[in-house]
Amino acid sequence: MSFATSSANLSVAVTVRRSRIDGYGVFATDAVLAAVRIGALTGEPVTVAEGRRRVVGRQRIMLVEISDSRAIDATRSEDALRFTNHSCRPNAQISLAQGSIEFVALRDIAPGEEITVDYGATHHEGRLACRCAQSGCLGWL
């Protein structure tokens, strides 16, 4: 699966393919410089209560809470960034701005490198093993 730079939500070209971390991942097609906007995650706007209801019993979710009451469910989105995996030593971060979920490079990212973010607090509440295999990995999400 490839997603071109012409996408309105992506600022850089990415490819979605199998990841050594988990399932599918998002990989930079070209070099990405530190502080560059990678793109924005899109999905269905839902209430936090509805989002939390939807994730009950599911291992793989694609939900970002953007406020105490609003969330974006990217489960059915065709957005490549929904496949961004967690890492305890990420190369990108999620930035929430005016209800938009932006992905921004924390450091230079090489062509072919998987783009990762730190998920922070998750619905797994420390019960899901982290698979990032990075030095200093916390071991759990």
Render pLDDT for 105-119 as a digit per residue (tens, 0 to 9): 999 999 999 999 998
Task: Kindly tell me if the per-residue pLDDT of 3 is higher than 80.
Answer: no
Render pLDDT for 71-107 as a digit per residue (tens, 0 to 9): 999 988 888 999 999 999 999 999 987 778 999 999 9
pLDDT for the residue 49: 93
Residue 90 vs residues 39, 50, 57, 86, 122: alpha-carbon distances, Å = 16, 28, 26, 7, 16
Query: Model's pTM, two decimal places?
Result: 0.85
Instruction: Give yes or no for a contact between 78 and 39, defined as CB atoms under 8 angstroms apart.
Output: no
Give the mean pLDDT of 42-56.
Answer: 91
pLDDT for the residue 1: 56
Domains for the chain: give ranges and CATH numbers. Answer: 2-117 (2.170.270.10)
d(CA 89, CA 84): 13
Render pLDDT for 125-140 as a digit per residue (tens, 0 to 9): 656 788 888 888 887 7
pLDDT for the residue 130: 84
Q: What's the whole-number average pLDDT of the chain?
A: 86
Q: What is the DSSP letter of 35?
A: T
CA atoms lying within 13 Å on the CB side of residue 65:
17
Amino acid at 33: L
Coil/strand/helix, residue 8: coil
pLDDT for the residue 5: 39
Q: Which two tokens stand for residue 78?
A: 């065709």
